[in-house]
A and B are shown apart, each in its own frame.
Chain A
Amino acid sequence: MPQRLRTTLYYAALWLVSLIFFAPVAWIILSSFKTRNDILATPPKLIFSPTFENYVDLFTRSTFMLQLINSVFLSLAAVILAVFVSFLAAFCFSRFKPKGTDFLMFLLLSIRMLPGPAVIMPVYLMYVAFGWKDNHIGLIFFYAMFSIPFSVWILKGFLDGVSTRFDETGRVNGGSWFHVIFKVVLPQVKPGLIAAFIFNLIFVWNEFLFNFIIGGVSTQNIPYALAVGAYADGGLNWTFIATLTSIYIVPPVLFIYFFQKYLLVGMTFGTVRGEV
């Protein structure tokens, strides 16, 4: 077989696989521009007259803006809090090496492996007992708590890669600890901070279970809206699902597009850090 043909076949196969995986996403995005009848038509309509009716409907729903704002606010607030706390914690682990650091790091990582449903009952009872249910601050703290272990773990790897000689130079030249932490060390672990930020952002953005159980009407986010609003008029509300999903996937896609190199660094735990 000539080389050219082989290359062509190879890429054709790759494209085919990609397209198969991308098909559901394409279907949902296309559907958001179709009328309900077009969505349900058999055979599926590839050629249709696009409509923005669904988007107009969605934006005029009374709860949509609340859900969107909640999603954005909860994600950003929880993740900023988590990354800030994790950075300071990781700095201490990396620089002062308290007794049992290795064991604590292992513990942090294993906590991350714990599935959410395993703790949903005690957390629910706790939140009800303390009156934190359906409360933004309560949810933000929960999400931050859930994000911190893994972030500490990632960031410690990055901080270990920043020589303590830098800290010392800062101190010898008259810098305070605050200066050393935020002006000397922090700029050098930016890729790690961004990686931790994106990982956690994706987690909180996609979080449904805890929002549903320990959140409530005032804290409802987009996954909550998708679950609750999927059924309407005795059937699946396809136009709503398609439109909301299309909007829902935009922020993570944009984030990942702009920060993909940091994401790679984060996934390899800083081992290819030099290339950023």
Chain B
Amino acid sequence: MPAVELINVSKTFGKKKALDNVSLAVEEGSFTVMCGPPKAGKSLIFRILVGLETADEGRILLSGRDITDEPASRRNIGYVPQSFALYPHMSVFDNIAYPLHLAGAPREEVARKVDATVAMLSITHLVKKTPDQLSGGEKQRVAVARGLMKDAAVFVLDDPLVGLDYKLRERLMDEMKQLCEELRTTFFYATSDSLEALTLAQSFIVLDDGRVVEKADVLSLYAEPQHVRSLELVGFPKANVLQATSAGGAVDLAGLKLAGPDGLAAGAVLAGIRPEDVRLDHSQALKTEGTVQIIEHLGSEIVVYLDVGGSPVTAAFAADGVVPPDLDSRIPVSVDPSRIMLFETASGRLLGRGRAGGAVHG
């Protein structure tokens, strides 16, 4: 039985359809990451789930029980909001103990639980302070601690690391992962950061413009994204998505010809290529040239931003023993056509992969 289930949930604000028939399930004991561009409806799904907003249509189940009409105060969900919302008039200890105090837990139990949680998050030294004395990362951990205090079946974390500096994010991501393993409960986590999603997720829900576009586990989502948004959101550097046209089963990608999957209809298509599949030589079947515009050295990896026939293309390769090209130089570029994913322009759905030999037909 899934820990959380949303069935055909829709929500409209004025004329804007914020959530369009969203159905999703979070398996018990999983770390599920909901990933999507900003404003895709991630926070709204969480707010509906915890009861701060009501859905226009659809049902919400918590461990199989219908909670659609229950008030927020009675849903047993641990919630870490995007804004920490720590009470400024309470000490850190009281902030963390807040859900327990509200539930009327006895004093010893409160002390025991808070002590255990602050130790786990290594914020024991902060409990006597007030929220305004804390740094961003400390506040974040206090908010997480408070969210975890409830004896909840599922914990919902709404992009809790947003706005924190890079180093801190990395450390907190590791802590979060450890926490999930220690607690063995269900985590439902939203983020718009690709790296964060990849680090934390066991399974993915990809959201785009109020719709669930893909549900998959982390490996298959990366290897075989079924939607162009999944390809764009998951992976770093960001995948290349180029305009292409198809006619007679062949695809024309900026002058390069490749064969499309069987049954490809004529019209505009999107071609998705992961940066690591772009080679800066002519070793692959589809060959062209590009101008180097930016080079980023990421230590183990080098990322080259190219201009290929007017379209921006990103290439990434292991830095190991490779001499990076010069800026503004024209260099060879090639791609294996079977590494090119073709998506329908209107729906964003995967049509299939390219094949060599398009030139023969075209």
Contact = CB atoms under 8 A, between A and B. Distances in A.
A264 B98 CA distance: 32
A166 B146 CA distance: 13
B102 interface: yes
A179 B102 contact: yes
Interface in A165-182: 165-166, 168-176, 179
B51 interface: yes
B50 to A, nearest CB: 5
Contact of A168 (B75, B81, B88, B98): B81
B354 to A, nearest CB: 48
B50 A172 contact: yes
Nearest to B98: A173
A230 interface: no
Contacts of A172: 50-52, 72-73, 75, 77, 79
B85 A174 contact: no
Contacts, number: 53
B150 interface: yes
A163 interface: yes
B74 interface: yes
Contacts of B122: none
A173 B87 contact: no
B89 A188 contact: yes
Nearest to A171: B72
Nearest to B143: A169
A173 B150 contact: yes
Given A165-B81, A169-B81, A175 B87 contact: no
A98 interface: no
B52 A174 contact: no
Interface in A154-171: 163, 165-166, 168-171
Contacts of B87: 166, 169, 184, 187-188
Interface string B39-79: 00000000000111000000000000000000111110101
Contacts of B332: none
Contacts of A165: 81, 83, 85
Q: Sorted from nearest, which 6 A-B pairs have the closest CB atoms?
A: A165-B85, A173-B99, A187-B89, A171-B72, A169-B85, A174-B73
12 contacts: A169-B79, A171-B52, A171-B72, A172-B72, A172-B73, A172-B79, A174-B74, A174-B102, A175-B102, A179-B102, A187-B89, A188-B88
Interface of A: 163, 165-166, 168-176, 179, 184, 187-188
